[in-house]
Chain A
Amino acid sequence: MSFISVFDVLGPNMIGPSSSHTAGAARIAYLAQKMIAGPIIKAEFILYGSFARTYRGHGTDRALLGGIMGFDTDDERIRDSFQIAEKRGIAFSFTPDAEETEVHPNTVDIRMENEAGQKLTVRGESLGGGKARICRINQVEVDFTGEYSAAIVIHQDRPGVVAHITSVLSRHGVNIAFMRLFREGKGDIAYTIVESDGRLPENVSDELRENGNVHEVMIVQP
């Protein structure tokens, strides 16, 4: 059993009204925007399950949009995120999909586009108590909570890439807590998610990119 902190009981500090529908939603979007180089100019949200039915009254929409702009779950700007997003010129939309039932009850797909025209779709689930996980990047099933300092490496599924990743991290004295590889198919695009015990140094991303099969590296700090 993982450690339950006193601040898991008295916390999170959050914008209401619901830890699952507001704080958890903000958290998903916050993690999602960390996975694409900013600034984001467009965000489409597809809402499933309970999110689809009660998102307005729970401020799920404002929380998601706030998270996309990098607001944490206790950021009071979440309440005004529509106006802030409009001012920043971010195009956004919310589409409830109440038909899809083969998903966790509080699920959202976030389709993001940045200024450079890159696109990324991330699926997240709100697990309750403000906790959340990313369960899909583009079409690949992943499992990522952002509770640890993490590197997400998008690369071609080729021999030696994982060895390259671990050797770079080893040079920086990083102790790997969890490491998983998810791929679209054999030899296709793969996602390696490395979570470390300490804080990952930001400069590892440049060194990770030195391998020709590495397409993109994102560092997500808790």
Chain B
Amino acid sequence: MDFKNAKELLALCVEQNMRISDVMRQREIEEGETSGELCDARMKKAYHIMGESARGPIRKPVKSMGGLLGGEAKRLSDWQQGKGRGKSLCGPVLGRAATYAMAVLETNASMGLIVAAPTAGSSGIVPGVLLALEEEFHFTEEEMIQALYNAGAVGYLAMRNATVAGAVGGCQAEVGVASAMAASAAVELLGGSPKACLDAASTVLMNLLGLVCDPVGGLVEYPCQNRNAAGAATALTAAEMALAGVPQLIPLDEMIVVMYNVGRRLPAELRETALGGCATAPSACEACGKCS
């Protein structure tokens, strides 16, 4: 069981009466010549690493290697728990998703253990969204692992038919694809159809189209961490739209091509070279003098 694009994936879902996650899991077993037990165990391990990388910095903030990050996730978490003077604007799901997404980037930037999803620079979004949904809706671990296969299917389509490298396609290929993965997984978890999953993924890529990769000092720290929080928010809004049945005009396959074409047209300065965007703002350059 294999598929090259979203159209074929959707056809398999309809023919076999399977969810996207089921098809992706079956594909891994058959094409990867492995067993369901081994795959699930590996996925479970990944989910545990994700959980630890998201919760660690909230318990104990850590300073990043480049010195630009440390303590952001704890601040957000404290604020949401009413430890500040105001009230949380985002509510529990989005609030936690953003917090966890930033926490994973803090773990990553301080040489902690993370799961690239699909890349290290965008590793906060899938765990951020999934952990927040697990806590809010009390899903089982099996359901969360199943959701990861769904996310993996969307990431695979982007990797196969476009790129997930910031150096090739800008941040839209990293944070954009990660958010598309999270949106699709969220829709399946909440009982949406395979088509609704892919619509949500398409909406995300549309909304993050053109996002540039401009890391300050060339390091995976800033604005990467902020963008992971923003990516989680984009994923949740797109998932909500898809679940509500808001139509998406452009199918995922087309949107992946659109994203790829936009990415390749981005000047090199805006593709992970730290020669443009936020990386060349005077304050960023000043801050960076301290980090190299």
Contact = CB atoms under 8 A, between A and B. Distances in A.
Interface residues of A, number: 35
Interface of B: 24-25, 27-28, 31-32, 39, 42-43, 45-46, 49, 64-66, 107-121, 123, 126, 148-149, 151-153, 155-156, 159-160, 164-165, 167, 181, 217-221, 291-292
A10 B152 contact: yes
Contact of B66 (A50, A57, A76): A57
Given A23-B120, A57-B219, A128-B165, A9 B156 contact: yes
A62 B65 CA distance: 11
9 contacts: A5-B32, A7-B42, A9-B117, A12-B115, A13-B45, A16-B113, A17-B120, A22-B111, A62-B111
Contacts of B221: 17, 57
Contacts of B66: 57
Given A1-B160, A4-B159, A58-B220, A14 B111 contact: no
Contacts of B46: 7, 10-11, 13
Interface in A46-73: 50, 53-54, 56-59, 62
B148 A15 contact: no
Nearest to B69: A17
A18 B111 contact: no
Given A7-B42, A54-B218, A16 B159 contact: no
A19 interface: yes
Contact of A6 (B108, B111, B120, B149): B149
Given A6-B24, A16-B108, A57 B116 contact: no
A16 B108 CA distance: 4
B155 A16 contact: no
B28 A5 contact: yes
Given A10-B117, A13-B49, A57 B110 contact: no
